[in-house]
Amino acid sequence: MEKLYFGSATDNPELTDAQYCTLLSNTKEFGQITPGNSMKWDATEGTRNTFTFAKDEAILALAERNGQKVRGHTLVWHSQLPISNGGFDNATLISIMENHITEVVKKWKGRILHWDVLNEIFNEDGTWRSSVFYNTIGEAFPGIAFRAARAADPSAKLYINDYNIDGTGAKSTAMYNLVKKLLAEGVPVDGIGVQAHLIVGNVPSTMQNNWARFASLGVDIAITELGIRMTFPADAAGLSQQADDYKNVATACINVPRCIGISRFHPYKYSWIPAIFPGQGAALPWDEDMVVKPAYAAIAGAL
Ligand code: XIL
The atom number, within ligand 1, closest to the CA of 161 reads 13
Task: Tell me which residues are annotated as active site.
Answer: 120, 225
Which residues of the chain fall short of a pLDDT of 50?
Answer: 1
**Burial tier of 278 (Cβ tally within 10 Å: 0-12, 13-18, 19+):** exposed
3-state secondary structure 223-254: EEEEEEEEECCCCHHHHHHHHHHHHHHHHHHH
Q: How far apart are CA 260 and CA 3, in angstroms?
A: 7
Kindly report whether the global pTM for this prediction surpasses the value 0.90: yes
Helix (H, G, I), strand (E, B) or coil at 69: strand
Peptide bond into 233 cis (omega under 30): yes
Kindly indicate whether the ipTM for this predicted assembly is greater than 0.90, answering yes or no: yes
Task: Say which residues have a Cβ less than 8 Å from residue 195's Cβ, sequence separation at least 6.
Answer: 161, 162, 163, 165, 166, 224, 225, 226, 265
**Cα separation, 189 vs 136, whole angstroms:** 22
Residue 224 CA: which ligand 1 atom is closest?
A: 13
Counting ligand 1 atoms within 8 A of each CB, the residue from 39, 192, 195, 265 with the most, and so the one to mutate, is: 265
CATH fold of 5-302: TIM Barrel (3.20.20)
Element housing 302 (H / E): helix 294-302
Say how many Å lie between the CA of residue 55 and the centre of ligand 1: 16
pLDDT of residue 2: 58
Structural domain spans, the chain: 5-302
Q: Whose CA is nearest to atom 1 of ligand 1?
A: 272
- pLDDT at 1 (0 to 100): 47
CA of 36 to the centre of ligand 1 (A): 7
Q: Rounded to the nearest whole angstrom, what is the distance from the C-alpha of residue 276 to the centroid of ligand 1?
A: 10
pLDDT of residue 232: 86
